[in-house]
Amino acid sequence: MTQEFEAPVVAAEVKKRDHIWQHLVECLPEKLTPNHLSGFRLFLAIPIIVLIIVHYNKTAGGLFLFAAILDWLDGSMARIRNQITKFGAYLDPTADKTVNFAAFFGFIYTIRSDYYLHLVIPIIIIDLLLFFIATFKYALIRWPNHMRYFQHKMEIMTSGANKFGKIKMVLQVIVISFLLIFDPTTSFTVHKKFGFLPDHLTLLDFSFPLLVACIIFGLLSIRGHLKAIKILP
């Protein structure tokens, strides 16, 4: 059961960006799998929340960036080593959503603004919906005999993260890490040099349109996943 559970389920297609990690992956021990990295990212959600609560925001931001780097690394490792597994296809997005939830909790705890709460709550809901979709897709992979209706309609493993979800993830990493590492209420001084930005423009102001973009790309990501599993035409 364990071998079938962890065995590669599709032929890995190595992408161009994976070559960035090629040498690092070759140096890592064979016993270390992409699922180990995903599991570690899942665990990182706890210290991220704790650090924010005790006001170590810069450390929490650095840890969040580290989790994002591990996310990019484990995907490349899975493709380079041909270690894309059924469990990994579910664990990876689960770790993403858990770490994101921890980071957004920190965002709300730090900012304490209803103005931004109205943006973060939709993003959290979108992440929850993406988590449920990932769970459903995992069920289709793990127990196909019990879901015959879907069995002939799709190839589950080729309908992973879509480009909209990846853009959303990159935007979230940029927004949350910067807001945690730097003081979001500090004004930028670049307008004094170039004169094209209004006075007292803060990092918090810059984050607003990026959070709106996260919502838009999140909804597009959900639509893409639903189309992949034939729930939407």
Write the DSSP assignment of 34-86 as a string of letters. HHHHHHHHHHHHHHHHHHHHTT-HHHHHHHHHHHHHHHHHHHHHHHHTT---H
Which residue, 213, 214, 169, 210, is CA-closest to 67?
169
- Label residues 102-115 b or e (16+ Cβ within 10 Å = b): bbbbbbbebbeeee
**How many Å apart are CA 55 and CA 155, to the nearest integer?**
45
The residues near 58 (Cβ < 8 Å, ≥ 6 apart) are 180, 181
CA 30, 32, 37, 39 dihedral sign is positive
Q: In this structure, which long-range contacts are made by residues 23-30, counting pairs with CB atoms below 8 Å and at least 24 apart in sequence? A: 24/73, 25/73, 25/76, 25/77, 25/80, 25/81, 28/77
Q: How do the pLDDT tens digits run along the chain, 233 residues long?
A: 344 445 555 556 777 777 788 888 888 888 888 889 989 999 999 999 899 888 888 899 899 999 999 988 888 888 888 887 777 777 888 888 889 888 888 778 777 777 788 888 899 899 888 888 877 776 766 655 555 544 444 444 444 557 888 889 899 998 888 888 887 766 665 555 555 556 667 778 888 899 999 999 999 988 887 777 665 55
The pLDDT of residue 151:
46
Distance in angstroms (rounded) separating the CA atoms of residues 121 and 50? 20
Q: Tokens at residue 28, please?
A: 């890592």
Instruction: Give all domains of the chain, ordered by start, each with its CATH number.
Output: 7-228 (1.20.120.1760)
**Cα-trace Rg, the chain:** 19
| pLDDT at residue 41 in the model | 92
Burial of 15 (0-12, 13-18, 19+ CB in 10 A): exposed
Please give the Cα distance from 216 to 210 (Å, whole number): 10
